[in-house]
Structure 1
């Protein structure tokens, strides 16, 4: 049990007032929100100024992989702040070099260089630029059910409706349908059919766009915000083969899925696929300091061996951020965080969530890996009609009232706790979700 701060209603009121007056919140109608002011957190728990604590199943934005206020990571950042805090990319700096080596050391052989960014959107921006310059081609294919960030190229890659407000966007991006067996675009009834038909659709899309014009196919290895969609067996391998056949680069977006989230260092490790470019952020340092990056294959890095890369960021490889990444990777290794995520997912979360589905008709589908899960909420299991927004909100309220905070996305409940969650804490979360579902759907 974590210690709670004393109740401070005046501070709560002041934070709310200042937020309403001055903070412009992303993806929100400003007059219709009242964000909860947080007072602190520890491990897999956070709490507010009213003394209420919550078991966190969001990891904030699926990035606090080491949990809140991990003492070793906090101390590493504190120690780094006592040195040279910021160093321009044109100089060499120790923690930047060590972080690049540590990240590259987790990638497949032949991906040795790392370009640091401030987050995942910038990572995807630069991956697209690298792919276009390396291949001399301009088209990039991405899935409709995807989110790759909100900067110009990243939001163009994004296939879901959040891109609409940014259109018209950069030219050359083409979307296609990826695999999603529960709501198959291909009328599939098995994972094998879904993989085969989704690959056939992608192959036809490439042919229609002219493979000689396609620089890259960009995929979230496991689709995150759009439903925790785990690719069926053979799909990623088939995309790799298609790319090799036509000289197209495979860019895997591991911003959300990487660094332990699926029970592996990178999600693509589950399928043994070697990408040409890997984008990352979030879990690399649990979001304690903004950091992202691109891991480049040797072939792509060689393109810029004697030709300058036309891109850069003032804070590329910021010393405080890279020091936190070095510490985070070391902590994850020494404390077996990746193994813990895999074990909790296999032994507790996966079976427990499937058990919830057996007892609650509102759950239409359960899917996930490690500590990366989604419950698809439906009004009718036969028709698979999505649960209306008001009923989704009611379920979320019921969860919060019981002290557990899941991540609600559309008609889904995402269960994405920090990778350090124990089996006991996961069991407590499942009990609270069970009670909330029973109370909200009775």
Structure 2
């Protein structure tokens, strides 16, 4: 008797090319067959007769399989891939504009980063993100161990920040732990029974570790990511308000204490941001210089005009590109980079799976904070910090982190029609 059902399901799934879709369709049809069978049994048919009737109602297995293959075919977000390719390509512009493209070290390194970033995004797309949902503790542990490894085994310092340098391969830095914490929190926030004290411990342990690296930007990015995801979690609104209130209070207390303990040079940096002209010969020089370059850029820039631009290919790459290519180019660049975040938002609104939505929300937060802060500090809205412009700034993380985020989004999009609804 059961053979008829399995034969029918086998004939249907034979028409489906995707392995992931095969299981989903088999579970879904099995669920509907069982429901139909129960209805016929309620009408007085025997179990065998009821199953035969239920199968008959489904129609031709071959025709049904072809319909299901078309309906549940894994999707590829070609628009997102186009945006990825465009931004990776635009990442070469600073090299060209600043004349670094002729230097073998820069050109080869950038090419490797772009290939690796693009490959990582496409590779992640083919991975089933749903398998990561139960591995939150694993990702969290990897993130913590990664930071501990850099703390105790660092062999290099860049701008006072400890790192592990693997010659001719890669330099490991604290920001590389962010993807692991991102995946961990997406998993944790699907747990309805997560307690406030558990949240507090899980949240503050990475922050305490990040404090060992004089890089407050990473703490800011991590905190924004977690709290944005919090408001899309399964916590009750009361719990979310309590967590946010307690954390905000702690931040105020820590901020007040930190203000009292600030070194003179740190205080001057803050005051210089608020009033750069007063500190024009010191900490205010950089904000004033950036403002001057941005105002001089004009609509079409100054190609070929050599001007000193601090950190022109990294943190202030937006300044250098604006000065060289003009305001029109800068606007176009911001639009292209913003389209990625807009696409994230559009896809997130189409999702019904809470875990997938959390992944998208976390990606929006991580990507958005980079874009907003880098452009914002260029325009004088935010203090000047070491935060890269996604894909455009030279370096591993601007490419790798954001390619990873796009890969996650592509993975979710590919399976957005294969979300299990509890069919058995």
TM-score for both structures, normalised by structure 2: 0.29
User: Rg larger in 1 or in 2?
Assistant: 2
Q: Tell me the TM-score normalised to structure 1 length.
A: 0.28
| Bigger relative contact order (CA 8 A; separation at least 6) | 2
